[in-house]
Amino acid sequence: MTAFCRSSIHGSTLTQGFYRADAPHITIAAKDENQQREKTHEASHGYTMSLLSAVVVNVKASGYVKPDSAKDARGREIWPAGLPSEEVAHNG
C-alpha cells in the first residue's frame, strides 16, 4: 500500500464543484498493489478530533477509484507524476 497526505486538517469538502462544511479531516490518497500496476488511486478522509488535533479517529474511503492522471478542481495533479513511494509494513 502506498499513501500520501494531500492536505492539512480542514473542515470543508468539495463535492461536484461546491464546498460544503464537513467535520475536521485530512485528505489521503492511497493505492494498493493492483492500483500501482493500473496507475489508479482512491482518496479517503481521515477524520480528526478537531482542527487542532492530528489524531485520526475515523477513516472513510471515497469509493471512487480514479486514474493517476486525474486533476483536482484547481487543475492540480491528484497523484503527482514521479511521486516517490516507499512501502512500509507494520507487524501488530
Q: Is residue 53, in this structure, part of any structural domain at all?
A: yes
Joined grid coordinates for residue 74: 484547481
Closest CA to 9 of 51, 58, 59: 51
Q: Is residue 88, in this structure, part of any structural domain at all?
A: no
Q: Is residue 20, in this structure, part of any structural domain at all?
A: yes
Q: What is the pLDDT of residues 25-71, one digit of tens each?
A: 999 888 888 998 898 999 899 999 999 998 999 999 989 899 988 88
Q: Which amino acid is at 61?
A: A
The residue segments making up the domain with residue 21 are 2-67
Indicate the number of domains in the chain.
1
Asked if pLDDT for residue 88 goes beyond 80, the answer is no
Place of cell 485528505: 27
Q: Is residue 10, in this structure, part of any structural domain at all?
A: yes
Q: Is residue 25, in this structure, part of any structural domain at all?
A: yes
